[in-house]
Amino acid sequence: MSLNEGYDLVEKAERLIAKRQYKDASALYKDASKLFKQNIGKTDNDEINNALQILADQNLRRANELSLMQNQKVTNSRSSSQAQLQQSIYNPLSTINKQSADNISASLASVRGVSGHNSTIESLVNDDSTDPITKFQVQVYNLIKPPNLNNNIETSTPKNVKLSGKSVEELELENRTLKQLLSTYSENLQAYESFHKKLKLNLKNYLTVLKSDLQTQEKKKKAANDRKLETMDKENKRLESQIKKLKERWNELVESAKRRREDNQPKDGR
């Protein structure tokens, strides 16, 4: 399978996430991770292999995150109490966010060996001699920062409320709690969307820079090849000119010999 198929799987997974089909999206991310991992080692370029390892790790973590969210979604649908709603909707969300951001950052740091060395990272990005792929990976490492989520939701349940009852007071309390949960969940979701939107935009910009750097390298190689071709072309023309002169000289010698034979024929006939 080609790498393009891996990118297609990731795009399909993102579309499924928009439809809240977390289980199917998780499966696609796992398949993409396996595909990227299968391609590691197929080239001798260490930078490309490192980039593939990063992609494999990121997609696997994303699949695990979605599995947790899917499990939480099932738990929420079965929950009937206020306390269960509070614990099941909010707490795992912040845990997933923190773990995923930490894990991705740690993975990138371990692969590139740049964790905790900001001066080294900055020098790599600004150094024109740095390989474009290395520069791109360092920029991605700097980019990943977890969004700040609201952790201040009240999770305690008043002792004088019977969750099984449906009195006016209990319904009002349940309504307020659900609104508070909805507000917090919406804020967290917006933080995620903003974070991933920024991530996607910056990655697009970094890919543009990477493409530009690779094109610059390609232009330099092309210029060197053009110079070599020009030199070879001049050399070929010089050789062709010498060959032409030799042919003309040869033809002159042939004509000269032919004239001598013709001049000698009447003498032989006498």
What does the pLDDT read at residue 77?
A: 56
Q: Residue 7: how many CB atoms within 10 A of its CB?
A: 14
Residue 65 lies in a domain: yes
185 vs 187: CA distance, rounded Å:
5
More confident residue, 70 or 154: 70
Domain holding 13: CATH number?
1.20.58
**For the chain, what is the total number of helices (H) and then of strands (E)?**
8, 0
- Residues 137 and 157: beta-carbon distance below 8 Å: no
Burial class (CB in 10 A: 0-12, 13-18, 19+), 67: middle
Q: Of the candidates 36, 38, 26, which has an alpha carbon nearest to the alpha carbon of residue 6?
A: 36
Mean pLDDT of the chain: 72
Task: Considering only the C-alpha atoms of the chain, give the largest distance between any 2 of them, rounded to a whole number of Å.
Answer: 150
Name the residue range of residue 52's domain.
3-71
Assess whether pLDDT exceeds 90 at residue 225: yes
What does the pLDDT read at residue 150?
A: 47
For residue 188, name the pLDDT band (cuts at 50, 70, 90). Answer: confident
Residue 55 lies in a domain: yes
pTM above 0.75, yes or no: no
Residue 63 lies in a domain: yes
Residue 227 lies in a domain: no
What does the pLDDT read at residue 143?
A: 57
Residue 258 lies in a domain: no
Calculate what percentage of the chain has a pLDDT beyond 90.
15
205 vs 54: CA distance, rounded Å:
19
Assess whether pLDDT exceeds 60 at residue 156: no
Stretch 11-40: mean pLDDT: 87
Residue 45 lies in a domain: yes
Domain count, the chain: 1
Residue 182 token pair: 């909805």
Residue 165 lies in a domain: no
Residue 43 lies in a domain: yes
Assess whether pLDDT exceeds 50 at residue 194: yes
- Residues 206 and 140: beta-carbon distance below 8 Å: yes
